Structure 1
Amino acid sequence: MDLVLILLMWFMNHTMFLVFLLLFIFCSLNSYSWLGLFLYLDSFMMVMMIIMSIFILSIIVMSEKNNMLIILSEMLVLVSILFFMSSNMMMLYMYFELSMFPILVMILGYGTQIEKINSSYYLLFYAALCSFPFLFVYFNSSFLMVFCYYDFLVSWEMLFILSLSFMMKFPIYFLHLWLPKAHVEAPTTASMLLAGLLLKLGTIGFLRILGGFNFMHSNIWMIISFLGMILSSFCCLFQSDSKSLAAYSSVTHMSFVLLSLVLVTMSSKMSSIMLMLAHGYTSTLMFYLIGEYYHTSGSRMIYFMNGFFGSSMLMGIIFSLVFLSNSGVPPSLSFLAEFIIITNSMNFSKYIFLVIFIYFVVSFYYSLFLMTNSLMGKQFLNLNTWNLGFSMPLSLMMYNMFWFSLLY
């Protein structure tokens, strides 16, 4: 209780809030175990997710000028950290739904176009449609789903309903329509949080109920993940808005994570966590850089994005590093994770390689297309490169092999 009171006291002082979160993480790393009835850290995986949340929040605190947006970001990060720590299914669900609130306020309050109302409708509709069946299953189980690692033997219909609410935040293809809309209407800060943090809630939630998949045929999710990888990478090719392209590339990566998870082997679980980490750091920086460009030039159209190298060499180098990491170029963390996923899936079936090959060709093409369009050109932009110092640690994390050694 004292911790909560201190936290509320420091909520307005952003630096103190960050310091408190860092201290909190070091304490939990020191002894990750029971912290009471509802909250505990059960694996290093959660600690890494919390570290990533703090990284993203620190970038926002340093680069965002609007005080209210920072407070909303702090709320979202706090809810996410509590979600990663919750050991009770009801708490898990509660924090999962509570994470919608700050994002909705950010989109509706600070979005610039009138379509933000439409995108909020999409977000709420998908959340309601996928989450109410989860509550129905929970109530019908006589509240027996106490611990977070759900390892019950149930029918596949029940498992499908349970995973559906997490799939919406994944987001898998066919439940993804709210994501590009929300990204396009949201301010840069909200986009960074949406891509870096909010999508991870779905994956961690799905990991919680993955125990039940040991006894089930999860072919349906495998097929949907293949469709998601191919279709959304083709969607990326036809985007003219750079933010929309980054949003669809998130969908392709999360479909890849889903493919890895439903193989239900230890190494595929590890590689999916690594890909989640890599995606979290990379997509945060992608939206940050696109936002910086938008604030300078007033346009997000890919065809008008040129002159990065002429304006600022540093900006151009970081931009190319981020988009190369996004397309899985060695020695980035996403390359390592994708390599392990491909190996695992080829052990499962050799025909999978054909699908993955198409995905890689297309995804590398759109990343390269965006890079050549934005970096080359004669236009000069007065870019604010002072803020780029903040993003250096994130760039380091994208190429950091420390996670690999920690997980394996």
Structure 2
Amino acid sequence: VHAEASSPTSNILSGYIMKLGLVGVVRLCGSWVWGLGINSVSEFIFLLSLGFLIWAYYEVDSKRWLAVLSLSHIMVSVILLVYGCYDVNLLAYIFCLGHGYSVCGMFLLIWWGYNHVNSRSWLILTKFYSLVPVIQVLCVLMFMSVSSFPPTLQFFSEVILAWCSLAVNNDILTFIICIYLFGSSLVGLMVLGLVLIYLLDYSSIVHYNNSNSLGVSIIYIGILMLFTFIVV
């Protein structure tokens, strides 16, 4: 429903979807989650999250891609609540807040692109985003935010999550969490890579004497990433 709603509705729901999803999981599965051991529950939940990540890797529809990614991120808040014995409950809500901000910005970017190209496909939107330098910078910022790069709120919550997995001395759980955190960041950067790839073919900035210059392209992308790093 969140993915197929109108763009204004999706923007409004982005601030509540994580909280409502977290409340739903706690109410429906709370007795089961807290009744079993932390390790077994955490391993199952993160394996489920990896399934959502694999789905996101193959999803072309931008809004559905973002909705699937949100389903995967809900599990992070659930695990932070499970690790409440380490006094990290507040980080679950901080993660929801940071996720709401990043997803809202991404929905605005998708909404703006849809109004111009009348498509939600990443294959078309990424070509459009690569045409304007300002939008290229916004794409870098939005995708880095969704990918939980520092200094986003999600990044600090995920660092504490990794610390909690080390504290319980479960190597299997630590390995699963590391794979999940790496995969959740890579799924956003993969789409950002499409923007930068199309940038080399369609942006007039990287054209030199009517042909693509690899040196100019590398310099331009380097300046773009440096500017984004300074802004962040």
Quickly say closer, same or farther: Cα 1:208–1:370, change in 2 above 3 A: same
Runs of 4+ in 1 over 4 A off after TM superposition: 204-215, 218-221
Q: Which residue of 2 aligns with 1:264?
A: 84
Residue 273 of structure 1, CA deviation = 1.4
Larger Rg: 1
Cα distance in structure 2, aligned partners of 1:372 and 1:200: 30
Q: Which residue of 2 aligns with 1:277?
A: 97
Q: Which residue of 1 aligns with 2:217?
A: none
Q: Which residue of 1 aligns with 2:129?
A: 308
Cα distance in structure 2, aligned partners of 1:268 and 1:213: 20
Matches of residues 119-138 of structure 1 in structure 2 within 5 Å?
A: none
Q: Deviations over 1:176-207 (max 9, x none)?
A: xxxxxx23421111222333213312425666
Residue 287 of structure 1, CA deviation = 1.3
Residues 214 and 264, structure 1, Cα contact 8 Å, conserved in 2: no
Cα distance in structure 2, aligned partners of 1:286 and 1:255: 20
Aligned residues: CA RMSD: 2.8
Work out the percentage of aligned pairs sharing the same amino acid.
25
Residue 223 of structure 1, CA deviation = 4.0
Residues 62 and 122, structure 2, Cα contact 8 Å, conserved in 1: yes
Q: Which residue of 1 aligns with 2:172?
A: 351
Instruction: Find 1:336's aligned residue among 147, 153, 156.
Output: 156
Q: Which residue of 2 aligns with 1:324?
A: 144
Cα distance in structure 2, aligned partners of 1:227 and 1:243: 23
Q: Give the TM-score, by structure 2 length.
A: 0.74
Matches of residues 232-243 of structure 1 in structure 2 within 5 Å?
A: 232-243=52-63
Quickly say closer, same or farther: Cα 1:218–1:264, change in 2 above 3 A: farther
Q: Deviations over 1:131-165 (max 9, x none)?
A: xxxxxxxxxxxxxxxxxxxxxxxxxxxxxxxxxxx
Q: Which amino acid aligns with 1:356?
A: I
Cα distance in structure 1, aligned partners of 2:2 and 2:79: 24
Cα distance in structure 2, aligned partners of 1:239 and 1:322: 18
Q: Which residue of 2 aligns with 1:197?
A: 16
Q: Give the TM-score, by structure 1 length.
A: 0.44
Q: Could you say what secondary structure the match of 1:300 adopts?
A: coil
Q: Which residue of 2 aligns with 1:112?
A: none
Instruction: Find 2:185's aligned residue among 337, 341, 364.
Output: 364
Gaps of 5+ in 1: 1-181, 381-398, 400-408
Residue 237 of structure 1, CA deviation = 0.7
Residue 221 of structure 1, CA deviation = 4.5
Q: Deviations over 1:105-141 (max 9, x none)?
A: xxxxxxxxxxxxxxxxxxxxxxxxxxxxxxxxxxxxx
Residue 209 of structure 1, CA deviation = 9.8
Quickly say closer, same or farther: Cα 1:264–1:206, change in 2 above 3 A: farther
Cα distance in structure 1, aligned partners of 2:61 and 2:171: 36
Quickly say closer, same or farther: Cα 1:353–1:319, change in 2 above 3 A: same
Q: Which residue of 2 aligns with 1:165?
A: none
Matches of residues 3-402 of structure 1 in structure 2 within 5 Å?
A: 182-204=1-23, 216-217=35-36, 221-305=41-125, 306-311=127-132, 313-348=133-168, 349-375=170-196, 376-377=198-199, 378-379=201-202
Residues 49 and 75, structure 2, Cα contact 8 Å, conserved in 1: yes
Residue 288 of structure 1, CA deviation = 1.5
Quickly say closer, same or farther: Cα 1:302–1:265, change in 2 above 3 A: same
Residue 282 of structure 1, CA deviation = 0.7
Residue 215 of structure 1, CA deviation = 6.8
Quickly say closer, same or farther: Cα 1:332–1:365, change in 2 above 3 A: same
Quickly say closer, same or farther: Cα 1:228–1:196, change in 2 above 3 A: farther
Residue 363 of structure 1, CA deviation = 2.1
Q: How many residues align?
A: 199
**More helix, by proportion:** 2
Residue 263 of structure 1, CA deviation = 2.2
Q: Which amino acid aligns with 1:371?
A: L
Residue 279 of structure 1, CA deviation = 0.6
Gaps of 5+ in 2: 204-231
Which structure ranks higher in relative contact order (CA pairs < 8 Å, sequence separation ≥ 6)?
Answer: 2
Cα distance in structure 1, aligned partners of 2:130 and 2:58: 25
